[in-house]
Amino acid sequence: MGGLRVVSAADLDHLVSMRDAIEAVREAFRLLSRGRARVPLRVHVETPAGVALWMPAAVEGMGLGVKAVTVFAGNPGRGLPTIQAAVLLQDPETGTPLGVVEGASLTALRTGAATGLATELLARKDAGVVALFGCGAQARRQLEAVCAVRPVTQVRVYCPTPSHRESFAVWARQQPWLQGASVFAAPSPEAAVRGAEVVVTATPSHQPVFSASDLGPGTHVNAIGSFTPQMREIPPEVVAKARVVVDSVEAARREAGDLIQAAAEGAFHWDRAVELGPLVEDPSLGRRSPDEVTLFKSVGVAVQDVAVGMLALRRAAEHGAGVEVPWT
């Protein structure tokens, strides 16, 4: 009798480290760039309560799967997370369902892993001062990912609610992967960005979250919060001057509000965008000088979910983790 393994958020946290996730995502983007992955654009379904998205992918040598994710802004008032998701993984040879991984934690992990990969490839080698916009679950994994690939010495975190940024700073100081870096709750966007060498934006903003004039030369920016044409975190002046890398040009043209709006304003042209997969294959496609501003704009690609989800399932089977339920 076959079984379906269910991997919880707690299981995932113990089974797959950020460094493991970065390597899995690196291979997924490499396969995508070589034409060995099929990734239809995600399906958006608007509901009165929020948006639902379905993200399928088939990756040769890795697996087959689909993520169902919802973003319902009213959920916190019901005592529920804003983002909820599940990832179904299947055998690519037979289509047999293999397992389900809790999707919100997997999304945060694989999104962080893409940021870690992009930061490794684009940020200056000595970049150690990080400005972080956002204080939620995504922001936590984003900071962990940057710390996995760069010698971080200082973190400035900003979000509009003072108590949230103070709580985030307290949490961050307790993390072993921070390795002694100082963490400050920044009183303003300016205080966070000025002098930063890596900037991460993980917010649901519809307006730029910092001023272009506060961004120094040579800074690397990871923009991961916006995922609709109406959302925007990055000033158009930054997009105009930056070396722009995206996870998928096709997906970004449909969903990346930071770039869609900049293009409509004449600050960006899509032929400037470099995809992360080819950058993995050829790092010379990235940063061209120490003073160049680099921007990684991520909207998320389902190959990331399949890569990290399949790794989690393999580890769960090896360690007897998760719960196996009868399926056939």
Which residues are known to be catalytic?
Answer: 67
Question: Cα(46)–Cα(208) distance, rounded to whole angstroms?
Answer: 24
Q: Which residues pair with 198 in a beta bridge?
A: 130, 220
Quote the tokens at residue 248: 């998928």
End-to-end CA distance of the chain: give it in Å, rounded. Answer: 6
Residue 155 contacts residue 143 (beta carbons within 8 Å): yes
What is the DSSP code string of 58-92?
A: EETTTEEEEEEEEE-TTGGGGTS-SEEEEEEEE-T
The sign of the dihedral angle between the CA atoms of 90, 224, 11, 75 is negative
Which residues touch 235 (CB under 8 Å, ≥6 apart)? 208, 210, 211, 212
Note whether 142 and 222 are within 8 A (CB): yes
Q: In degrees to the nearest 10, what's the CA dihedral of 278, 282, 285, 291?
A: 130
CA angle at 265 for the pair 264 and 268, rounded to the nearest 5°: 80
Helix (H, G, I), strand (E, B) or coil at 35: coil
Name residues whose C-beta falls within 8 Å of residue 54's C-beta, 6 or more positions apart in sequence: 42, 43, 45, 66, 67, 68, 69
- Sequence-distant (6+) residues with CB within 8 A of 308 are 16, 21, 24, 25, 106, 109, 110, 113
Q: How far apart are CA 25 and CA 251, in angstroms?
A: 17
